[in-house]
C-alpha cells in the first residue's frame, strides 16, 4: 500500500499560501489520489502565521499532518521556515524562501526577528533548499510569481507528474498569466535541481 | 462527480441536492462560507439576516410554509437563536429545517469554545456530526429526511476542522425546491400553554422514535478490527482515531443524539477496553456512564482545545494503549509570535489611539476592533459577545467608582446585530454614556460581508441602506455626531466633548474599511531619517507598515521607517510626528 505524503506550507497571511495549497491538493486529486487539506481562515489572515496541511495517498484519514512527519515543508518566509522546520520527518526537505517579513512586534524590546533563520535551519542538519524567491521574481519581471516558483521547486520532491501540475496551474492562475506562471514553475524546478546537484 | 470541497462548500452542495428553497445566516467564522458558496449557485436563494435569531426565524417561517430551509451560524450564534430553537422543537416542521452550528474548538476565531452538542440534548432534537466533507453533504441530505419524517428541526454540527478542511466529495444532482404552502394549524404552531403541553408530550415520544432510528441508520457504524480496544467517537475525532490507532475497533457515530444505546452496548460487549474519544466536553462519555456502560474518556483526552494526531497519541499513551514515544528530532525553535493586527490605514486606529490618550475605560465588542486590545494600543478592555459593549458600559458607568471616562465601542454590523436595544436602555435609564459606532460599512472580520447597512444583499442586489444616525436619533439620542477619523486632533476633540456631556452621545465614524468591498490605498508615506529623532511616537499606533530602523540617533534610539509596500497612506503617523519627519512620497534610493 502506498503511504501518505505530507506537505506543510507555511508563511504569513496574505502571501498566497491558501491558493498554493489549493493547487497542490487539486494536482494530487487529478493524479488519482485521495487528498485532504486543512488550514484555518479568520483572524489568522490579519498578518498572522498561516499554515496549510496537504496530505495525499491511497487513503488519508487526519487532515492534519501528525507531528514530525512532514515529507516537505514549503516556507514562504525565512522565520516561518525556522518556526516549523522541526515538523520535518527524518530525510524530509525544507524549501524556504529567503524573504523576511518582520512583524511589528519585533519593534518591542521583548522580541527579536531571527535574521539568521536560514543559517539556523541549516545548522539543524536537515535537507534545506533556500531560494531567493524575490530575486527570481525580479528576473521573471513580475513580483506575484513567488508562489508558482515555490511550487516548481516543490514538484521536484513529489511524485505528481508534471503535465498534471501544468494543467492545474493553468486552470487556477489569473487569465492571461498562464504562460508567465508556467515559466515561473519551470524556473523554480530548475533552481531546485541545480541546488541539489 | 468528484470534487475537492471544504466542509462548508459540501453543505452548500448538499443543500442544492436536498432542494433547499431558502438559506439564512449571520456571518461568523467558521460558518461563513456555507452561504457565500450557496448564494453563487444558480437558482439558489440565500440571505444574510441581521442576527442569528432573525435568520433562524426566517428559516422557521420557510419551513412552516412547507419549504426546506437551511440556517447557518457559528457556535455562539446558536445562543442568539436558542430562543426560537427551543420552542420550534415543540412545533416541529412542515418543510425540513436544518440548523448548522459551526463550532470552534481551539478558538481559532472565537471568544469561547462551547460545545454545541449540548443544544441537541437541551432542545431534544437529532444531531448529526460529519467527519469529512463527504459526510457533511451526506448527513445534510439525511438530516432533511429525518426532519420531515420525525417532524423536528435537526442540528448539523461542524467544527472548524470540518468546515475548513477540503476532502474529496462525490456530488449528486441538484433538485428543484418544492414549496407546499403555509397551512393554518393552530394546535401545532401556536405555543400557548394549552397546545404547548401536548407538543411537549409529542417531543418526548419523538425522542424515543429517533433513538430507534439511531440504532438502525448506517451513519452509526461498527468497524471491527482488533478487539482489545474499542473506541467510540464522532466528528473529526474519528479521523484522528483512524490515524493514530489504525488497528482499533471503532463505533463511529454520525448521528450522535439521541444515542443508539443498544448498539453502543453491543459494541462495548464485543471489545476489551472501551474508550470515548471526543473533543471538548464529555458529551458521549457522560451519557454512557449514566447508562451504566463502563468506559474511560476525559481522564485521558483533554477537555480543552481541539484534538490532533499528536494530542490523541499522547492521550492514548496516558491510557496505556500506546507505548511511550520519544521525539528524537531537534526541538522547536523559539521564533517570535505574529499576533494579528489592525491593517495599515485602518480607520479604527485613530479612535483607539485617542481613547488611549483619554485613558478611557473602553467596553468593546466583536469585530476587527477587538484587536485594539493588543499592544501597543491596549485600548479596548472587554469583549464578551455580540452587542455586549453598550449594556456593559451602562453598568460600568452606573456604579461609578472610577474617574476615567466610560466608552462603548461597537462596529456597524454588530450594532445592527444587537446594539439597538443597548442604546435604547442608555436613553431610557438616563445614562451619560458615550457610544462610538465604528461604521466601516462591512462585516470586516469575517471577510467583508454585506449587512443591512451596506445597501446590498448577499445575492448582490441593491436594497435599502439602514441609516444608523437616524436609527440612533429615533431611539432618543440627541447628541449624534460624525466622528472624523482622518484628522486625529479633530477626532480627539469630538470624543473629549462627548465624554464630558451630561447626556448620552453617539459618535459615528464614516471612513470605509481598507479591505472591503475593495482594497483602498493612498500614496505611501516616508520618514526623513535626517529629521527623525527616534521618539517612537509613530511606533505606538501599532501600524504594520512602521518598523524600527537599524539607524540610531546619537543617543542610541532607533529611528522609525515605513515599509512603502505596506503603507496605505492614511496620514495618522504623519499627524502625530512631533518633528514633522513623515511626509508623502516614495523614499529616495540611498546613495
- Closest approach of A186 to chain B, Cα-based (Å): 26
Cα B405 from Cα B492, distance rounded (Å): 13
Structural domains of chain B, count: 4
Q: Is B193 in the same domain as B63?
A: yes
Same domain, B193 and B137: yes
d(CA B559, CA B533): 7
Q: What is the pLDDT of residue A43?
A: 57
Residue B159 has pLDDT above 60, yes or no: yes
pTM over 0.90: yes
- Pairwise CB contact (< 8 Å): A42 & B30: yes
Query: Do B166 and A25 lie within an 8 Å CB cutoff?
Result: yes
Beta strands in B262-380 (DSSP E): 273-277, 361-363
| Bridge partners of residue B101, in order along the sequence | B73, B157
Domain A5-105+114-196: CATH superfamily, name plus number: Pyruvate-ferredoxin oxidoreductase, PFOR, domain III (3.40.920.10)
B584 forms beta bridges with B525
Which chain B residues are closer than 8 Å to A83 by Cβ? 332-333, 335
Nearest to B397 by CA among B353, B435, B350: B435
Q: What pLDDT is attached to residue B178?
A: 96
Last residue of a domain, one of B190, B216, B242: B216
> Which residues from A are below 8 Å from B445, CB to CB?
42-43
Write the DSSP symbol of residue B372. G
CB pairs under 8 A between A and B: 156
pLDDT tens for each residue of B518-552 = 999 999 999 999 999 999 999 999 998 998 888 88
The pLDDT assigned to A105 comes to 78
State the ipTM, two decimals.
0.95
* Inter-chain CB proximity B240 and A61 less than 8 Å: yes
Q: Which residues of A touch B547 (CB under 8 A)?
A: 102, 104, 106-107
Q: Is A85 helix (H, G, I), strand (E, B) or coil?
A: helix
Q: Which residues of A touch B231 (CB under 8 A)?
A: none
Instruction: Identify whether residues B54 and B117 lie together within a single domain.
Output: yes
- Given this model, what pLDDT does residue A101 score? 87
Asked if residue B516 lies in contact with residue B444, where contact means CB atoms within 8 angstroms, the answer is yes
Q: Is the pLDDT of residue B328 over 80?
A: no
Q: What is the pLDDT of residues B12-58, one digit of tens each?
A: 999 999 999 999 999 999 999 999 999 999 999 999 999 999 999 99
Contact A113/B371, CB-based, under 8 Å?
no
Instruction: Tell me what pLDDT residue A41 has.
Output: 66
Interchain proximity B336–A38, CB inside 8 Å: no
* B345-363 pLDDT, tens digit each: 999 999 999 999 999 999 9
Instruction: Say how many C-beta atoms besides its own lie within 10 A of residue B183's C-beta.
Output: 11
CB contact at 8 A, A11 and A21: no
Residues B368 and B464 in one domain: yes
Q: In the structure, what pLDDT confidence band is assigned to residue B566 with cuts at 50, 70 and 90? A: confident
Cβ-based neighbours of A153, under 8 Å, separated by 6 or more? A74, A95, A129, A131, A188, A189, A191, A192
**Cβ-defined contact of A105 to B339 (cutoff 8 Å):** yes
In a domain, B516, yes or no: no
CA dist., res. B171 & res. B13, Å (int): 7
Chain A residue numbers with beta carbons less than 8 Å from the beta carbon of B168 are 29, 34-35
**Beta-carbon separation of B242 and A61 below 8 A:** yes
Q: How far is residue B58's CA from residue B61's CA, in Å, rounded to a whole number? A: 5
Instruction: Please write the tens of the pLDDT for every residue from B381-440.
Output: 999 999 999 999 999 999 999 899 999 999 999 999 999 999 999 999 999 999 999 999
Chain A closest-CA separation from residue B537 CA (Å):
12
Helices and strands in chain B: count of H runs, count of E runs: 20, 22
B32 and B128 part of one domain:
yes
Q: Which of A40, A91, A96, A120 should one mutate to test binding to chain B, selecting the residue with the greatest count of B CBs within 10 A?
A: A40
Give the 3-state DSSP-derived string for A7-65, with helices as H, strands as E and coil as C.
EEEEEECCCCHHHHHHHHHHHHHHCCCEEEEECCCCHHHCCCEEEEEEEEECCCCCCCC
Q: Domain of B389: which CATH number? A: 3.40.50.970
Contact: B30, A41; criterion CB under 8 Å: yes
Q: Which domain holds residue B368?
A: 348-509
Task: Kindly tell me the burial class for residue B17, based on how many C-beta atoms sit within 10 Å of its own C-beta (0-12, 13-18, 19 or more).
Answer: middle
**Residue spans of chain A under pLDDT 50:** 1
Shared domain check, B423 and B564? no
Q: What is the CATH number of the domain that holds B555?
A: 3.30.70.20
Exposure of A127 by Cβ count < 10 A (0-12 exposed, 13-18 middle, 19+ buried)? middle
Task: Note whether B340 contacts A37, CB cutoff 8 Å.
Answer: no
C-alpha cell read off for A180: 508567465
Amino acid at each position: 500500500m502506498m503511504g501518505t505524503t505530507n506537505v506543510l506550507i507555511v508563511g504569513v497571511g496574505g502571501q498566497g499560501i491558501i491558493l498554493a495549497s489549493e493547487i497542490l491538493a487539486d494536482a494530487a486529486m487529478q493524479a488519482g489520489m485521495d487528498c485532504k487539506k486543512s488550514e484555518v481562515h479568520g483572524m489568522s489572515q490579519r498578518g498572522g502565521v498561516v499554515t496549510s496541511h496537504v496530505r495525499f495517498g491511497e487513503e488519508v484519514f487526519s487532515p492534519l499532518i501528525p507531528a514530525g512527519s512532514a515529507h516537505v515543508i514549503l516556507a514562504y518566509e525565512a522565520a516561518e521556515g525556522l518556526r516549523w522546520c522541526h515538523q520535518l520527518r527524518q530525510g524530509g526537505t525544507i524549501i524556504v524562501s529567503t524573504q523576511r517579513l518582520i512583524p511589528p512586534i519585533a519593534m518591542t524590546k521583548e522580541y527579536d526577528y531571527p535574521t539568521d533563520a536560514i543559517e539556523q535551519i541549516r545548522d539543524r542538519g536537515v535537507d534545506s533548499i533556500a531560494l531567493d524567491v524575490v530575486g527570481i521574481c525580479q528576473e521573471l519581471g513580475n513580483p506575484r510569481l513567488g508562489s508558482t516558483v515555490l511550487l516548481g521547486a516543490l514538484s521536484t520532491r513529489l511524485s505528481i507528474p508534471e503535465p498534471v501540475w501544468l494543467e492545474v496551474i493553468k486552470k487556477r492562475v489569473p487569465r492571461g498569466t498562464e504562460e508567465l506562471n508556467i515559466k515561473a514553475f519551470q524556473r523554480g524546478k530548475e533552481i531546485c535541481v541545480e541546488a541539489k546537484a | 462527480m468528484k470534487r475537492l470541497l471544504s466542509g462548508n462548500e459540501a453543505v452548500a452542495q448538499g443543500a442544492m441536492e436536498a432542494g433547499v428553497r431558502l438559506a439564512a445566516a449571520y456571518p461568523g467564522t467558521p460558518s461563513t462560507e456555507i452561504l457565500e458558496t450557496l448564494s453563487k449557485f444558480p437558482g439558489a436563494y440565500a440571505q444574510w439576516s441581521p442576527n442569528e435569531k432573525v435568520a433562524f426565524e426566517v428559516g422557521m417561517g420557510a419551513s412552516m410554509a412547507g419549504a426546506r430551509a437551511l440556517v447557518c451560524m457559528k457556535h455562539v450564534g446558536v445562543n442568539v437563536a436558542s430562543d426560537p430553537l427551543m420552542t420550534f422543537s415543540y412545533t416541529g416542521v412542515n418543510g425540513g429545517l436544518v440548523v448548522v452550528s459551526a463550532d470552534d474548538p481551539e478558538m481559532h476565531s472565537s471568544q469561547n469554545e462551547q460545545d454545541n452538542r449540548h443544544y441537541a440534548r437541551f432542545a431534544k432534537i437529532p444531531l448529526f456530526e460529519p467527519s469529512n466533507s463527504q459526510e457533511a453533504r451526506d448527513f445534510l441530505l439525511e438530516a432533511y429526511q429525518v426532519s420531515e419524517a420525525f417532524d423536528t428541526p435537526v442540528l448539523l454540527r461542524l467544527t472548524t476542522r470540518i468546515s475548513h478542511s477540503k476532502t474529496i466529495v462525490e456530488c449528486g444532482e441538484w433538485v428543484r425546491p418544492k414549496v407546499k404552502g403555509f397551512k393554518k394549524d393552530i394546535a401545532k404552531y401556536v405555543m400557548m400553554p394549552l397546545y404547548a403541553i401536548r407538543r411537549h408530550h409529542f417531543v418526548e415520544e419523538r425522542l424515543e422514535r429517533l433513538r430507534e432510528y439511531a440504532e438502525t441508520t448506517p451513519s452509526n457504524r461498527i468497524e471491527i478490527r482488533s478487539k482489545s480496544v474499542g473506541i467510540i467517537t464522532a466528528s473529526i475525532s474519528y479521523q484522528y482515531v483512524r490515524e493514530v490507532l489504525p488497528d482499533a475497533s471503532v463505533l463511529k457515530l454520525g448521528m450522535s443524539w439521541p444515542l443508539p444505546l443498544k448498539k453502543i452496548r453491543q459494541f462495548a460487549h464485543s471489545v476489551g477496553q472501551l474508550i470515548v474519544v471526543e473533543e471538548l466536553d464529555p458529551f458521549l462519555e457522560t451519557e454512557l456512564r449514566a447508562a451504566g456502560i463502563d468506559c474511560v474518556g476525559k481522564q485521558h483526552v483533554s477537555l480543552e482545545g481541539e484534538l490532533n494526531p499528536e494530542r490523541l497519541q499522547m492521550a492514548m499513551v496516558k491510557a496505556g494503549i500506546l507505548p511511550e514515544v520519544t521525539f528524537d528530532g531537534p526541538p522547536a525553535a523559539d521564533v517570535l509570535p505574529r499576533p494579528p493586527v489592525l491593517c495599515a490605514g485602518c480607520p479604527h486606529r485613530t479612535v483607539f489611539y485617542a481613547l488611549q490618550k483619554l485613558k478611557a475605560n473602553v467596553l468593546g465588542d466583536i469585530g476587527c476592533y477587538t484587536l485594539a486590545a493588543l499592544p501597543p494600543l491596549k485600548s479596548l478592555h472587554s469583549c464578551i459577545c455580540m452587542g455586549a459593549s453598550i449594556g456593559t458600559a451602562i453598568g460600568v458607568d452606573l456604579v461609578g467608582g472610577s474617574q476615567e471616562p466610560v466608552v462603548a465601542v461597537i462596529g456597524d454590523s454588530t450594532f445592527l446585530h444587537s446594539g439597538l436595544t443597548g442604546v435604547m436602555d442608555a436613553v431610557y435609564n438616563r445614562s451619560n454614556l458615550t457610544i462610538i459606532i465604528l461604521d466601516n460599512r462591512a462585516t470586516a472580520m469575517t471577510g467583508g460581508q454585506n449587512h443591512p447597512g451596506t445597501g446590498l444583499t448577499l445575492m448582490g442586489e441593491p436594497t435599502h441602506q439602514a441609516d444608523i444616525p437616524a436609527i440612533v436619533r429615533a431611539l432618543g439620542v440627541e447628541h449624534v455626531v460624525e466622528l472624523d477619523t482622518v484628522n486625529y486632533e479633530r477626532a480627539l476633540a469630538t470624543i473629549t466633548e462627548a465624554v464630558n456631556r451630561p447626556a448620552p452621545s453617539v459618535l459615528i465614524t464614516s471612513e470605509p474599511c481598507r479591505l472591503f468591498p475593495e482594497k483602498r490605498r493612498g500614496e505611501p508615506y516616508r520618514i526623513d531619517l535626517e529629521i527623525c529623532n527616534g521618539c517612537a511616537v509613530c511606533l505606538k499606533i501599532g501600524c504594520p507598515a512602521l518598523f524600527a530602523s537599524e539607524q540610531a540617533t546619537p543617543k542610541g534610539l532607533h529611528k522609525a521607517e515605513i515599509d512603502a509596500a505596506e503603507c496605505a497612506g492614511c496620514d495618522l503617523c504623519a499627524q502625530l510626528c512631533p518633528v514633522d519627519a513623515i511626509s508623502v512620497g516614495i523614499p529616495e534610493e540611498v546613495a
